[in-house]
Amino acid sequence: MWKTILLVGSGGFIGSVLRFLVTRFIQMRYFSLFPWGTMTVNIVGSFIIGIIFGLSEKGDFLGPQAKFFLAVGFCGGFTTFSSLSNDAFILLQNKEWLKFLFYATGSFALGLAAVLGGRMLVKTILP
């Protein structure tokens, strides 16, 4: 049990630090009130988790410990649904209706498409 907790925690640490760096880089590069950084990590994280679960469905490519480290730890730390929700609330609070609509629906739809893309990529590479 402790080994699993350490795997999840270390994956979460790496994912959280990477999320901070990627979000900061994007927000500094494209200065905007729109949360491009958060949206980007959510879409990329969705693609990565699609690959992880696609690989785990293929058999022996990922064991349970790797799945805990990557899916629960890394992707859990890297993706930011709670940040997405807060950013969406701020857009609503500022009456940025179109930005809110694009952000909320875009994040969900593109995140879902990224999960599908990750799974399809694995199926294409590993028939």
Residues marked as binding for Na(+)? Answer: 76, 79
Residues 61 and 55: beta-carbon distance below 8 Å:
yes
* Tokens 């270390």 belong to residue: 10
Q: Rounded to 5 degrees, what angle do the CA atoms 102, 106, 107 make?
A: 120
3-state class (DSSP) for residue 61 = coil
Q: What is the DSSP letter of 70?
A: I
Radius of gyration of the chain (CA): 16
Residues that constitute the known binding site:
76, 79
